[in-house]
Homo-oligomer: A and B are copies of this chain.
């Protein structure tokens, strides 16, 4: 069973991702090191003891749809209630509406642990927190006062409604329409698909945030507005009024995250209310809905990245436990009697260490991204906002790919038992597979990284970041830690691969060689993630964490440098030379 790795998480937050210097520098208000530890410990306890034990039943029963209602898995409504009562919904929310106003770093660390417990459970609250964020930034005072206190307390949940059948990534072709009414409200008509937690029995009300188009809106993404559409209308006194004309038509039968209801939502077909039309309120300005969504898009992408880390951590723990218990054959050099635990076989150890490296690398990248989000509210805001922007696609893609790869290795370590659902390794493999897709596929992250993030500050932001990475590699090379092996040289070489690929892409983008740049976007994104993995592991090995585990961290870092990140040279070649053969082979696909 999953046990939250609170110490490793605290170490990574503080000594790799930047929390310790931020605390020391007073950048995070009156947050103290002790409070950080206490929050992490309690979030971890909740994940390990409350969520994780209900993960399997959520998968087996799934969310069940009947007569327009969704029945959540047994025990989950009570779990949600305990979670909300624990104050977890309000961690980062504004104190003006009952929130605790804590840094984003703590939120992502908690998210990791909750998702390790059950990704299908954690995704619901995550989306509510996103809705709170959008409403806080863009809602009118009336909307904020009416909805935010109950959303922050967790009494009501939220949902995000973007996707339509013909419009997944391309929101510009959206068809859901909104009509103005004289009283300042709107009526919405349309269908949305893939709406996570669009309907459930956790809360009495659900606050849908819905993108739609006004009749006179300009075409494309500049003609989209954001609306708040509650499942039940809210009376003046805050009590629930009549049912709004918005409902769940059906839910999807999915590969994984079975406990998370994925809803087709119908707005305004007249099933409820006196006349057809779901009653909605504008959030932000007309035709500026996409900007409102972008406020939270980066954080949502990072939240999905946390799911990747979470699955990877859970799969690694499970595989290590199994490999220590299961005996089979005799490993070379095995001195014990009888068969050796399979962890003694070099190939099994290789799989487990690769899992650990990818998990820890993904964790460090995502936490560093959250750190940049936090720092972007203080001095040097532009620098940190750019850092957050740059790291978001890498964090989302690398971590979610790691989730899939590590879960797959986890099954392999289990052998035949991994293919049996009762073992639980298969659930992680199934759940993991959505994360590289939603909130923008990893391919779209790569396009974002190459065409919008690298050019920030004319390429000087990424150059400055690479200089920071070189500094880490130099420190590793200059260190007197034999345990680091060839880390310094290997990391230096990989950073050079990143630098060459970066300059090539910057030139391609600025010269308008779009096809070439995009052909190399995914290999570049992978290259970036591998380099960051090596660099952050080295930073951790060199850090003074005060826990006496530097040698152990150095050993894992060395394994990463000598056995995991060596693909950077091949990836660099693909970035700068892969496009012509890709274009030439396109005809093969017919």
Contact = CB atoms under 8 A, between A and B. Distances in A.
A492 to B, nearest CB: 15
Contacts of A569: 566, 569-570
Given A253-B422, A422-B253, A584-B485, A332 B163 contact: no
A309 to B, nearest CB: 18
A472 interface: no
Interface residues of A, number: 93
A441 interface: yes
A415 B433 contact: no
Nearest to A441: B415
B559 A345 contact: no
A185 interface: no
Contacts of A589: 320, 323, 343, 349, 352-353, 356
Contacts of A514: 332-333
B570 A346 contact: no
A169 to B, nearest CB: 5
A386 to B, nearest CB: 24
A366 to B, nearest CB: 20
Number of copies: 2
Interface in A558-590: 558-559, 561-563, 566-567, 569-570, 573-574, 577-590
Contacts of A522: 347, 350
A246 interface: no
A358 to B, nearest CB: 14
Given A332-B518, A443-B345, A585 B559 contact: yes
Contacts of A559: 581-582, 584-585, 588
Interface stretch (A113-121, A231-239, A404-412): A404-412
B563 A581 contact: yes
Contacts of A446: 347
A105 interface: no
Interface string A405-440: 000100110011011111000100110011011100
A436 B412 contact: yes
A125 B588 CA distance: 34
A210 interface: no
B442 A412 contact: yes
B254 A419 contact: yes
B438 A253 contact: no
- In the A-B complex, the 6 residue pairs with the smallest Cβ-Cβ separation, listed nearest first, are A566-B570, A559-B585, A255-B426, A347-B443, A332-B514, A562-B581
9 contacts: A169-B415, A254-B420, A347-B443, A350-B522, A412-B436, A412-B442, A429-B433, A556-B588, A569-B570
